Chain A
Amino acid sequence: MTRRIVKGILIGAALLFFLVPIYWIVATSFKQWPDIFAIPPKFIFQSTMLHYKALFNLDLEEVAKFGQAGKSLFPPRFVNSIIIAGVSTLLSVTLGTFSAYAFSRFRVKGEGDLLFFILSTRMLPPIVVGIPFFVLYRTLGLIDTHVGLILIYMTFNLSFAVWLMKGFIDEIPKEFEEAAMVDGYTRWESFVKVVLPQALSGIAATAVFCLITAWNEFFFALILTSERARTAPPSIAAVQGTSGINWGQIAAGVTVFLFPVVIFTFLVRRYLARGLTFGVIKR
């Protein structure tokens, strides 16, 4: 009995440790100006939507009264994040599923080596690849373009998609396709009509992981974009008010930004171990 109580307390403490920081930033985003810096910190406070209005440029007059200078750059950059994460995910999952199928079903010369080459590209530190990309993109005029960032995120997620999808496709019995092909389907038809529907939940999980990675990415966005194609992460970090760091607005930006990630985490909770180890862990 005492063992169970101790266990309960420890688990409770762990939950607090991991969740209070998140609660705190979300709470801060709803706090009025003076309450954000109040000592002792306020756990109960009167909420305001001011920071969100400032973030999305709603009700500019009211926002201006509180010393907010100029328009927030957040909305277009939030849209950039959605476009870039979305398109790059679509591309890497599509290409990844095709080659995962080939690795799973066909005899590929040097398959093991190829798969590990693909995995090793993911291990490269972003900064190491970032330097030549910066030079290359400047020559090609791809700096600060959506296409440029989409290409990088697609590449970055591709190796991941191949590995994860190979695991999912390996689990679909070959007999299904073989039966379909006996019935006169071509290989392509049986891939589309038999394998893809079976692999759907795997594809969805892979897509969610790719989305989250691209959504969260900071470094490439920092060095390869400045205005037009800049995504949310580097711009949330750069929100400055008239008097130093505008924590209210940063908190609002952070909250808007992490909300979809939390939702997606719950959606793929069954696949988390698998997704984070490139499918090495199957359970």
Chain B
Amino acid sequence: MKVVKTVCRYLMALLLPLIAAQSLAAGEPVGFWSFQPLRSSVPSTSNSAWPANSIDRFILARIEQQRLLPSQRATREVLLRRVCFDLLGLPPTRFQRTTFVLDRRGGAWSRLVDRLLSDPRLGERWGRHWLDVVRFAESYGFEHDLDNPNAFHFRDFVIRAFNDDMPFDQFVGWQLAGDELAADDPLARMATGFLAAGVHNADIAKVGVEQERSDELDDMVNTVGTSLLGLSIGCARCHDHKFDPISQEEYYRFVAIFERTIRGEVQLSTSATSASGVQPVLVAGEGLKPLPRLYNPGPAFYTRTWFLRRGNVKLKDHEVRPGYLGVLLGEGVSEREFGVTGDRAPAKAEGSTLRRSGLARWVTDTRRGAGVLLARVIVNRIWQHHFGRGLVSTPNDFGEQGQPPSHPGLLDWLSSELIRVGWRLKPIHRMVLCSETYRQSVLTADRSDQDGSLFRGRALRRLEAESIRDSLLVLGDRFDARMFGPGSLDSSNPRRAVYFRVKRSQPDPLMALFDLPDTLQGTAIRSTTIVSPQALALLNGPLVRRSAASFARRLRLHRPRSRLAVLAADVFSEALGREATSHELTAARQFLDQQRAAYANLARGGDLERESAELSGLVLDLTAAGLAPGEVSRWADRRAERTGLVFVPRGTGRPRLIEQATPSGQSAVLFGPGPTVLQAEDNPRVEFGTGDFSISVVFRLHPSSGGGVQILGKDSFPGQGTSHTGYFFHETAGHLRFSTRDLKSGKGPVNYLDSHGTIRRGRWHRATAVRSGRSVKLFLDDALSPDRMLVEPSPTNTDNVVPLKLGLIDESISGALHGELAEVRIYRRALSDEQVRLLHARQGREYLGHEPADPLDLALTDLCQAIFCLNEFFYIH
């Protein structure tokens, strides 16, 4: 049956153009639908009770045509969650929940909508939609991807404009020509960041300058076309547009509008957004000092615009003058009516040709210019983000290659409304949100219409990357609500995701996993992929885990003495915005119980296991406890009588015992500031042969320690026999490095691992390196799984007669330890990951005074994290 249906659809596709051609012959207006004037009349429906407003009548009329019924209204919990994510991109707060769910008076929904529409979070959410469309980023792209540190002002302008409900025609005009239309308003100039946000090649050869400028202009024209008019003007760069009425000549006339527009920085007052005072801001305009390149191979722009055959800068055909698209020019209207366009006359205002302000007038003029299309495109985007699908399902393409509107009358009606209310978007949002159409519940797949174009029932929608991350931060109580200002590249920064600095070569990994849009060209519809690395990020990623832990902590603080069932119920209501069912509660309670027991067991078992496991295979066990105060002239293994391992000073430096050195009050041995070395006496070997081994050390670098210091190790031995490989622990550039080195041939390979985690001076650290077979792992502090792993090319022979040294290993190079050691252990076996975790936990308790974690906290963290992974958390009903 499916095949037959599909065949029918193909046949329809074949026939439709014929039908269309026929109706044209019957005297209908000629031309493509999106270029037509607005036409709409609100249809009547047989069910007159359901529609709350005109939107509903348009939608219901088509549903009734299909002999179907709209879906029933969703519950208040569902609606609240839906509208909060939709308008603010955040889950509802407890306060919002009680205010709305308990508000039983009439008009509660409309009051909620009003509250949300005036919330400043709105701009951050809806501004981000716009930033997608205009390929916003804060770096140059290309090889060097240099930063544009002052590009964020455009993002701030967008957020501000959405919050203030700036009329959309003004919003557009300022982005195209804020410098010409309102030169004195800093916001207007920030708005031109729209033109400046594209890529910019900083490293081009002399021969590439013209091509680069041509690409830059193409980027501007293309972005204007897709974002404002839903037209792929850029397709006419090399030939007339294959489908839409845009000639190649018109493309180059459009290019000429931007002929002298370049990007640069100006000093502006930024009191409207972030800090008051004057700051450099990235803008576009004429007469600016161009943005720097690595070196300067040629001009930033050319003063003539050519028609380029096949788009090739070498094939100049004839010069062109600025102009607009003929198809969007009212009948009998001259381009001159929009102000200066073709004038080659020298600068009028501040050295500007005023071509872009002409463009702004043409784009927004609903009678003589492109304003009607502009309105259609933006109301469609509003609809798209409220419903997950536009009335035109190709929001960046209102041309022949795009899809026609599912509800042409509704699209036109909304466009007229937008124009009628003075291009303000909030009234349109309000109309949409207060419709019954918006408030329908999700239909199961078999009952919904196949492609969703009836808007019958609600689509299930996955959260965007930003909302995923922001929700985790909000629930985890780690949310920094500050608005505006420079962004950050730090994945752990607690501000909203819209304040990430958008560096083209460096998207945040978690965000990128959840389909962050490409920043090279505008994106109308984000993809929503489902891949396993997303699940890995949720199960194992640091941000999710940290948020789960702080969410758990918050819940326990809120109800200090709760039973498991109460805690479990809180997790559901806070994270999912609804009460848990009894099934769910049972499952969650059971889980909490089991995980708590497992954690408790782990701690208990850990103690037992430690006794045996920690001691087996132990060949060196040094601890500062028991040493006499003062100079240390002998540091013996705890079981020296058996192992015979004793360390004595070498050279003139003497280590000293420091009492109460660690946070828990344990002693430690201080090395430095001058070179201080302790060496195993009588050259006893800590032999491993080619076998496995583990080395663990508890240490601290002195606050004034230099960089690159050695901590402990065994030098490699270039002498006879097969015993030659050495190993080191040392600090390098803030990380711990463990290296093995083979100097047999005089310059053997050095293999090393650098910790992910950083070493801070003045801070105690626990580090363990484990070699098993040919793989080496490094653990630092609470990174309770291996920090890094390396595979050595060949089995390492560490049966090495060179003595083990503490403080300075290779005396031929500088970098003596200035810091303290509290414990050193060496095992002639590979500790398992689990055993290293236990070892570090014991060291944490013993030296750093760590409290053992409460098993219930840990179990609750696991539960919170599980809830963060649920489909219900990711899909909005």
The yes or no verdict on A and B being binding partners is: no
B binding-site residues for A, Cβ under 8 Å: none
